[in-house]
Amino acid sequence: MAMSANEMAISVTTASAARWNARLLGLFGPILILTGLGGFLVPPHLALMSGAAPYDLFHIVCGLFGTALVVARSARGIATFNLAFGLIDLYQAAAGLLGIFPAGLFRYRPGDHVAHLLFGLLLAVVGWKGLRANRFATA
> What's the chain's length in residues?
139
- Mean of per-residue pLDDT scores for the chain: 89
pTM: 0.86
Closest of 54, 51, 66, 70 to residue 119, by C-alpha: 66
Give me the pLDDT at residue 15, please. Answer: 82
3-state secondary structure of 59: helix
CA distance 130 to 53: 32
